Amino acid sequence: MGQNEVLFERAQKTIPGGVNSPVRAFRQVGGVPRFVSRAKGPYFWDAEDKRYIDLIMSWGPMIVGHAHPEVVEAVQRAAETSFSYGAPTKGEIELAERICELMPSIEQVRMVSSGTEATMSALRLARGYTGRDLIIKFEGCYHGHADSLLVKAGSGLLTFADSTQNAPSSGGVPQDVVKHTLVLPYNDVAAIEEVFQRQGDQIAAVIIEPIAGNMNLIQPSPEFLSAIRHLTSKHGSVLIYDEVMTGFRVALGGAQSLQGITPDLTCLGKVMGGGMPMAAFGGKKDIMSKLAPLGNVYQAGTLSGNPVAVASGLKTLEIVSRPGFYECLSGQTEKLMAGLKQAADEAKIPFAVDSVGGMFGFYFADQVPTSFEAVTQTNIEAFKKFFHAMLDEGVYLAPSAYEAGFTSIAHDNEVLNVIIAAAGTSFKKL
Ligand SMILES: Cc1ncc(COP(=O)(O)O)c(C=O)c1O
């Protein structure tokens, strides 16, 4: 028995399913999860010391590559002066100021420790601000695991749950909670217009992944985004951009900078902590000022604004802000996708690709899908075989066809060529 298998058996005795987050368990693709022992740049090594090229990069955060020496140094320096104080620090102000500079829609920002906390708190704030209960989310979008958001959710929910319209996608979520969540199809302008016409004065917030990455990668149409912005403004609802995945990943200013949309609130996570537990939500001052201690919407956290995570986040944002960072990252990601597409074409496999910045999607289908429904119709069996063939070749893809992939600045031409050659071999095995 290999070391990964030994660890997986051992893990399952004390950790449900052997993992601390469901998609890591390889349930969709089958097989034994790789237990990571270390990582550097674009690579990680498993328990058997086999090296893989990493194409999930911790599901997004590691945009400057694993164990970047400057980030490691910043974290070490911060750690020497203790890990947590439960009192404010100068670093938090610097990080808040930097976020506000990079995303001008954010006038004030509150730090939390996970994307789930960010979206959950942003929704509470939107409800407190508007005095309304209803929220709108879109099919296949994942916003973390708060009760009210576990309806037709993407990511692991899409992989494991039997999602039915407006029923919770998870056990333990009361129908009474999700009755306040309206779920609409992504990219469907008529559906959102109809709901606002009917119930616009009851809608507290619309929450959206502005580039969806939890049902594979799905881009919104400009008409869809402008309809959402227009309707939320007209009806006094709060537009929440969940940029936990896209923030500082698709562009320095996030998806909102590419789309020319100014949301009322934005949720951030992943890249902003450079791999440390760190996330945030922020936006218009008049909304943010409803938060405790100024206002009556309660939100708090023992480890919020943690100094070690702040140091990691500040250094990561410094590196991504250097000239040419996103041009290089986008160029490399496009090159990778073009290489995969060419390899699939040569093997005569129906295959489509898409990417934005350092985030990508590939689909066993003739065309890039534009909805949750279309993603579910792609060839999942082909994906599973491809996943395992690539794993054998030393390339680690997301172990689910319903997840986007992620590159880093450390994925240089040499690395891309290895991935593309591995894909050539793998497509031939399908
Ligand atoms: C768009 C989006 N929002 C929220 C979350 C939840 O973040 P976390 O896993 O840090 O709780 C995720 C996680 O993948 C995400 O992709």
Q: Which atom of ligand 1 is nearest to the CA of 209?
A: 1
- Which residue has the least CA distance to atom 4 on ligand 1? 143
Q: What is the pLDDT of residues 151-170, one digit of tens each?
A: 876 666 656 554 445 678 88
pLDDT in the model for residue 162: 46
Q: What is the pLDDT of residues 42-88, one digit of tens each?
A: 999 999 999 999 999 999 999 999 999 999 999 999 999 999 999 99
CA distance 331 to 328: 5
User: Could you confirm whether 43 is annotated as catalytic?
Assistant: no
Q: Is 281 in the pocket of ligand 1 (CB under 6 A)?
A: no
What residue type is 281 in one-letter code?
A: F
Nearest to 291 by CA among 126, 144, 149: 126
- Which residue has the least CA distance to atom 9 on ligand 1? 115
Nearest to 50 by CA among 392, 314, 430: 392
Q: Are 180 and 168 in contact (CB under 8 A)?
A: no
pLDDT in the model for residue 166: 64
Instruction: Judge if 246 and 357 occupy the same domain.
Output: no
Instruction: Judge if 304 and 354 occupy the same domain.
Output: no
Q: Are 321 and 97 in contact (CB under 8 A)?
A: no
pLDDT in the model for residue 176: 87
Residue 151's DSSP bridge partners are 168
Annotated active-site residue in 270, 326, 363, 396: 270
Q: Is 115 in the pocket of ligand 1 (CB under 6 A)?
A: yes
Q: Give the pLDDT mean for 395-400.
A: 97
Whole-structure pTM value: 0.97
Instruction: Judge if 56 and 76 occupy the same domain.
Output: no
Is 60 exceeded by the pLDDT of residue 29?
Answer: yes
State the chain's mean pLDDT as an integer: 96
- 175 alpha carbon to ligand 1 midpoint, in Å? 23
- Provide the residue range defining the domain that includes 172: 69-320
Say what the alpha-carbon torsion angle 423, 426, 427, 430 is, to the nearest 10 degrees.
-160
**CA-to-CA separations, 357 to 154, 217, 334, 395, in angstroms, rounded:** 21, 12, 8, 20
Q: And the tokens for 412?
A: 């240089």
Q: Which atom of ligand 1 is nearest to the CA of 246?
A: 1
pLDDT in the model for residue 311: 98
pLDDT in the model for residue 323: 98
Q: And the tokens for 320?
A: 């991504």
Q: What is the pLDDT of residues 197-244, one digit of tens each?
A: 999 999 999 999 999 999 999 999 999 999 999 999 999 999 999 999
Instruction: Judge if 193 and 175 occupy the same domain.
Output: yes
Q: Is 116 in the pocket of ligand 1 (CB under 6 A)?
A: yes
Q: Give the pLDDT mean for 338-351.
A: 98
- 64 alpha carbon to ligand 1 midpoint, in Å? 19
pLDDT in the model for residue 168: 84
Is 70 exceeded by the pLDDT of residue 340?
Answer: yes
Instruction: Judge if 419 and 345 occupy the same domain.
Output: yes
**CA-to-CA separations, 145 to 172, 237, 246, 362, 424, in angstroms, rounded:** 11, 23, 18, 25, 37
> Of 273, 305, 320, at which residue does a domain stop?
320
What residue type is 331 in one-letter code?
A: G
Annotated active-site residue in 129, 137, 241, 242: 242
User: Could you confirm whether 50 is annotated as catalytic?
Assistant: no
- 396 alpha carbon to ligand 1 midpoint, in Å? 20
Is 70 exceeded by the pLDDT of residue 105?
Answer: yes
Q: Are 125 and 291 in contact (CB under 8 A)?
A: yes
pLDDT in the model for residue 157: 64
Q: What is the pLDDT of residues 409-424, one digit of tens each?
A: 999 999 999 999 999 9
CATH number at residue 269: 3.40.640.10
Residue 355's DSSP bridge partners are 360
Query: Percentage of the chain surpassing pLDDT 70?
Result: 97
DSSP 202: G
- 142 alpha carbon to ligand 1 midpoint, in Å? 7
10 Å Cβ neighbour count for 201? 12
SS3 of 430, please?
coil
Q: Is 244 in the pocket of ligand 1 (CB under 6 A)?
A: yes
Instruction: Judge if 60 and 108 occupy the same domain.
Output: no
> Of 320, 350, 369, at which residue does a domain stop?
320
> Of 267, 296, 320, at which residue does a domain stop?
320
pLDDT in the model for residue 151: 83
**CA-to-CA separations, 251 to 42, 118, 208, 264, in angstroms, rounded:** 20, 20, 17, 19
Is 80 exceeded by the pLDDT of residue 275?
Answer: yes
- 342 alpha carbon to ligand 1 midpoint, in Å? 32
CATH number at residue 411: 3.90.1150.10
CA distance 416 to 319: 22
- Which residue has the least CA distance to atom 16 on ligand 1? 245
Q: Which atom of ligand 1 is nearest to the CA of 114?
A: 10
Say what the alpha-carbon torsion angle 49, 423, 161, 63 is, to the nearest 10 degrees.
60
Q: What is the pLDDT of residues 295-307, one digit of tens each?
A: 999 999 999 999 9
Annotated active-site residue in 46, 52, 129, 142: 142
pLDDT in the model for residue 163: 42
Is 90 exceeded by the pLDDT of residue 247?
Answer: yes
Q: Is 113 in the pocket of ligand 1 (CB under 6 A)?
A: no
User: Could you confirm whether 85 is annotated as catalytic?
Assistant: no
Q: Which stretch of 45-49, 143-147, 166-170, 361-365 has the lowest confidence by average pLDDT?
A: 166-170
Instruction: Judge if 168 and 37 occupy the same domain.
Output: no
Instruction: Judge if 301 and 384 occupy the same domain.
Output: no
pLDDT in the model for residue 152: 75
pLDDT in the model for residue 164: 41
